[in-house]
Amino acid sequence: MMSPLQAHPTRSTLRRSGHLAVFALLAALLPPPLFAKVVVFWQADFPTVASQPVERIALTGALDGLDPQFADLASLKGAATLSGADLLILPYGSAVPTDAWPSIVQYLRGGGNLLILGGQPLRVPVTSVNGRFVASRPQGSYSRVLDFHHTY
């Protein structure tokens, strides 16, 4: 047989149960920040422009716990790589991977986030030509697409 206390829970017990239910619902609906999808553009022989090169081990250490996905140029050009990504990191200073530019713009216009390490953001277009990366002259055309304005 139930005691009177078990048959009629107190208001504080109901409040605690309600709070637990709200926390459980929020935990289910909101992904914790440790599960953010981070994509790092990483391409062998891609030039770092107007900045110091960053080693992959340094990036891996800085992003510890986030399980970053390192994507080469071919991967970055595909829509699936940036699908659902919370952050795209371009670690090559001023260099812009022009071959992947359409995918990058689509990702950013869809609400994606961009972190550029070093240099002047999106200032020097770099294109793959016959298996080599060729840097063009500095320009503002790529940054202006995203409404970045350089001042000196």
From CA 52, how far away is CA 139, in angstroms rounded?
A: 20
CA distances from 21 to 7, 14, 31, 33 (A): 21, 10, 17, 21
CATH classification (class only), 33-145: alpha beta
pTM score of the predicted model = 0.77
Least confident of 4-8, 57-61, 92-96, 148-152: 4-8
Picking from 45, 49, 41, the residue whose alpha carbon sits closest to that of residue 137 is 49
pLDDT (0 to 100) of residue 36 = 86
Residues 4-32: tens digit of each pLDDT? 545 555 544 444 444 445 445 445 554 55
Residues 89-103: tens digit of each pLDDT? 999 999 999 999 999
Domain map (residue ranges) of the chain: 1-30, 33-145
pLDDT grade, residue 148 (50/70/90)?
confident
Residues sharing a CB contact under 8 Å with residue 146, sequence separation 6 or more, in sequence order: 105, 108, 122
From CA 148, how far away is CA 90, in angstroms rounded?
A: 16
